[in-house]
Chains A and B, each alone.
Chain A
Amino acid sequence: MAIVRVTGLDFRYRDTWALRNVSFEAQRGQFLGVIGPNGSGKTTLMKVIDGILVPEKGEVTIKGHAINRMKRRDIARLVAVVPQDSAMIFPFKSLEIVMMGRAPHLGMLRFEGKSDLRIARSAMEMTDTASLADRYMETLSGGERQRILIARALAQDPEVVLLDEPTAFLDIRHQADFFGLMKQLNRERELTVLAVTHDINLAAAYCDRIVLLKEGRIHALGTPGEVITEKNIRNVYETDVLVDANPLNGLPRVTLLSSPLSGQGSRSNAGAAPQL
């Protein structure tokens, strides 16, 4: 059964179209990646899916409910979002941040009970952050903060998790750790994951299916092997790449060819004087 269904989305910011006729589905327990260059509509798509932006045409349904007719609270019980980073203006401790994930499950004036605390603690254990409970968010490293935000999403007990370039500020080890953890939760809890990422190789390694966006339209949709081809990447990103099979797992691997040192420098640079 499709848990997230996106049908014929059109969205524009004033007179610039950001999404044109975007349709796809995510099945329960799927790990779906959304890739594409800057300005291709990835983040807009995520915001339309979680109901923050309202499309001009088309519809998003989660478990059959139209998202734009749901209350924020009801959306929050089904869909959690892990943002890139969370800038803290005022001091919150990590456990307080994770406990916020329980908010959609509580009445207006109800306090979190023992069961909420237990859920938050176990979310922190799953993300290996239990020892950080008493620390203030601003004293944590980027990787630790990101894991706290995943713990908060888990404490929300959602069926779908949206990731918007969640590893943008992480080093390669933490990027791999992050996707590894999401993959594990995806398998163990049948959590449906929709991830926007700039890293095509990470997407190839972790996603079951990939949506490739170009100028707001779906350019390709399918398994990593179907979508990540030299032709598709060249057409969408307008840069020369080599795609071969990763010798370790056979998944597609992208190598950028248009760097000045690769010997096949991009044509637009040909006439420029060397800078170094």
Chain B
Amino acid sequence: METPVVTPFKIARVSAILLILFLVAGLVSVLTGTAGISVSRVIRGILARWHEGYLALDPSEETILFSIRLPRVIFAGIVGAALSTAGVVFQGILRNPLADPYILGVSGGSAVGAIIGILIGAGAIPFGIPALAFLGAVMTVSLVFAIGRRDGGLDSNILLLAGVIVNAFFSALIMFFIATSSSADLHSITFWLMGDMGMADGGKIVIMILLLAAGAGIVYCYARPLNLIVAGEETALHLGVDVRRTKIVLFFAGSLITAAAVSFAGMIGFVGLVIPHMMRMVLGTDHRLLLPASFLFGASFMVAADTVARVLLAGMELPVGVITALCGAPYFVYLLRTRRM
């Protein structure tokens, strides 16, 4: 019988399987849409980019593939990976199965920043709206951190309550802006609030990758201390973990990842809540396995949800947050009822 202990080999094996799943999801997404492109032409197009001697695709296929669909798949993958990783982090440091990346108010602060950006016309400047959204997120994180600080560490209960209050305050602000803005701005605001993948481009992808790599890299270094904290904060102290430092580092790393995802893609719900639970059910709680698995599966899930959002209604595109919530909420109810969490 296999020992129920995580090994590097097991992590590599699970990651390889989930990476293949992501590639398949990406390929299906690239092939799906109003303009049909066959598998062989996608492969030929990709090969033609790197090897001379392969015939390039015709210009319209080239544009659809490389300027629209592929960036979008990569973008969706990054956002899904980011939200799932942040979900694991916040469920862990708060020791709360209901935690998600937005629970501490990062999303609310980000949304207020983005809405102000939309209202003052910052969309005209490159990265104007994401920059303001990120600024809003950073200010919120600093505020919640200041509220939750106690004896040099972070008190999980106070953090949670601070998050609830901050989120409530920002919802009121958001409703104020919605009530007073023109109908042209309303559409942009609504799309932003529900999460939108249509904004993918090379520059955003590069920035997202850098922020996610930094955040996720820090988080992985603390995977085992996080195991011990999840087993109990005093237990972690007794087993030699510097709990204060670990929680503070993970709080900021998780917030950075969340802020990056929300600033560029808007508020996409349920991914960061449900994916960690799904992976935990199948693979257990050891974060050395749970973190990479949630990262990769979250990426695949978001690509799939985005594909559905693109093609579900002919002639129009839905915000991807609608799809993730419509799938995520019933699944969460199922988890609650079967008590496997």
Q: Do A and B actually bind? A: yes
A90 engages B241 (CB within 8 Å): no
Q: Compute how far the CA of A96 lies from the CA of B231 in the bound complex, rounded to whole angstroms.
A: 10
Contact string, A94-138, partner B, CB cutoff 8 A, digits 1/0? 011101110110101101100001000000000000000110000
In chain B, positions 167-194 with a C-beta closer than 8 Å to chain A are none
Size category of the binding interface on chain A: 35 or more
Q: Compute how far the CA of A226 lies from the CA of B300 in the bound complex, rounded to whole angstroms.
A: 69
Q: Compute how far the CA of A21 lies from the CA of B252 in the bound complex, rounded to whole angstroms.
A: 41
- A156 within 8 A of partner (CB): yes
* Chain B nearest CB, measured from A159 CB (Å): 14
Inter-chain contacts of B235 with A (CB < 8 A): 83, 86, 100
Nearest first, the 10 closest Cβ-Cβ pairs linking A and B are: A76-B240, A104-B240, A73-B240, A81-B238, A90-B285, A93-B4, A103-B239, A72-B240, A89-B95, A92-B285
Inter-chain contacts of A100 with B (CB < 8 A): 227-228, 231, 235, 239
Inter-chain contacts of B228 with A (CB < 8 A): 100, 103
* Chain B nearest CB, measured from A113 CB (Å): 10
- B97 within 8 A of partner (CB): yes
> Which of B4, B232, B237 touches A87 (beta carbons < 8 Å)?
B232
* Chain A nearest CB, measured from B90 CB (Å): 13
Minimum CB distance partner of B288 in chain A:
A111
- A202 within 8 A of partner (CB): no
> Which of A52, A96, A109, A134 touches B221 (beta carbons < 8 Å)?
A109
Inter-chain contacts of B340 with A (CB < 8 A): 91
Q: Compute how far the CA of A89 lies from the CA of B230 in the bound complex, rounded to whole angstroms.
A: 7
16 additional contacts, CB 8 Å, given A77-B240, A111-B8, A133-B4? Answer: A50-B238, A72-B241, A72-B243, A83-B234, A89-B95, A90-B230, A91-B285, A92-B231, A95-B3, A95-B4, A99-B5, A103-B224, A106-B224, A111-B7, A112-B5, A117-B5
Number of A-B contacts (CB under 8 A): 92
Give me the interface of A with B, judged by CB distance under 8 Å: 50, 52, 71-77, 79-81, 83, 86-93, 95-97, 99-101, 103-104, 106, 108-109, 111-112, 117, 133-134, 156
- B202 within 8 A of partner (CB): no
A52 engages B234 (CB within 8 Å): yes
Inter-chain contacts of B91 with A (CB < 8 A): 90
* Chain A nearest CB, measured from B317 CB (Å): 37
- B63 within 8 A of partner (CB): no
B1 engages A134 (CB within 8 Å): yes
B240 engages A90 (CB within 8 Å): no
- B286 within 8 A of partner (CB): yes
**Would you list 17 pairs from A and B whose C-beta atoms are within 8 A, ordered by A residue?**
A50-B238, A75-B240, A76-B238, A80-B238, A83-B238, A86-B231, A86-B235, A89-B230, A90-B97, A92-B285, A92-B286, A95-B3, A96-B4, A103-B224, A103-B240, A111-B288, A134-B4
Q: Compute how far the CA of A79 lies from the CA of B224 in the bound complex, rounded to whole angstroms.
A: 20
Inter-chain contacts of A76 with B (CB < 8 A): 238-240
A92 engages B284 (CB within 8 Å): yes
Minimum CB distance partner of B1 in chain A:
A134
Minimum CB distance partner of B245 in chain A:
A72
Q: Compute how far the CA of A97 lies from the CA of B242 in the bound complex, rounded to whole angstroms.
A: 18
Q: Compute how far the CA of A100 lies from the CA of B226 in the bound complex, rounded to whole angstroms.
A: 11
> Which of A79, A91, A106, A112 touches B284 (beta carbons < 8 Å)?
A91
Inter-chain contacts of B239 with A (CB < 8 A): 76, 100-101, 103-104, 156
Q: Compute how far the CA of A73 lies from the CA of B224 in the bound complex, rounded to whole angstroms.
A: 13
Q: Compute how far the CA of A70 lies from the CA of B111 in the bound complex, rounded to whole angstroms.
A: 44
Q: Which of A86, A90, A92 has the most chain B CB atoms closer than 10 A to its own CB?
A: A90
Contact string, B214-237, partner A, CB cutoff 8 A, digits 1/0? 000000010010011011101101
- B280 within 8 A of partner (CB): yes
Inter-chain contacts of A103 with B (CB < 8 A): 224, 228, 239-241
Inter-chain contacts of A156 with B (CB < 8 A): 239
> Which of B237, B285, B288, B341 touches A52 (beta carbons < 8 Å)?
B237
* Chain A nearest CB, measured from B17 CB (Å): 20
- B96 within 8 A of partner (CB): yes
* Chain A nearest CB, measured from B223 CB (Å): 9
Minimum CB distance partner of A135 in chain B:
B4
* Chain B nearest CB, measured from A234 CB (Å): 34
